[in-house]
Copies of this chain bind each other. A is one copy, B any other.
Amino acid sequence: MTDMPATPRRRGAARTEELLQVTLDLAAEVGYAGLSIEAVGRRAGVGKHTIYRRWPSLSALLLDALSRVWTSDLDYRDTGDVRADLREQFLRSGLALSSPPIGPVYRAVIAEAQADSMLRATLHERFLATVEQSTLDRITRAQRTGELTAEANLEFAAEVLCGTLYYRSLLSTRPIDEDAVDGLLDMFMAAYGTGN
């Protein structure tokens, strides 16, 4: 009579990994509303301590879960055509932001962040600023190659580009479709493009 559990219990670092995955699965299935420490624990068959030992709060867990799936695809291609590269990346990011599991987890973090300015700073630092920086890098290269005017203040431009996408996907009810991206890029290129 083997009442060995199918999988042996408790593993330290491996548990951490598993909990992050369970969080993402939960987010994909039930969305933000169903995300709670209790729900993650229940789903993973885990005591709440096992979660609290690793993360001080639900927000911290969500941030780590987000890192797991958001780190890739951050970098822009560089085909030499800055407009095309931005377009491709914006459409890709827009899709990711509106699909599970990234969409629900992002929404959850943003909701929590509204009540917690520390979390807001962390969110900005670990995600938003990183995305802006990656955009800034790409358009700075374009400025060097003469695709963009030398006078352009690219730091603000990167913020405007990314901010508009976040605004549309998280606060507005409109999708990030080709029209939206093209409209945004029309304005950006009209402002700072050299026509090369």
Contact = CB atoms under 8 A, between A and B. Distances in A.
Interface in A22-52: 31-33
A120 B163 CA distance: 18
A33 B110 contact: no
A107 B166 CA distance: 16
B173 A124 contact: yes
Contact of A124 (B155, B171, B191): B171
A160 B164 contact: yes
A115 to B, nearest CB: 5
A29 B178 CA distance: 43
Contacts of A31: 115
Interface residues of A, number: 44
Contact of A171 (B115, B155, B166, B188): B166
Contacts of A112: 111
Interface in A137-196: 152-153, 155-157, 159-160, 162-164, 166-168, 170-173, 180, 183-184, 186-188, 190-192
A97 interface: no
A115 B33 contact: yes
B180 A156 contact: yes
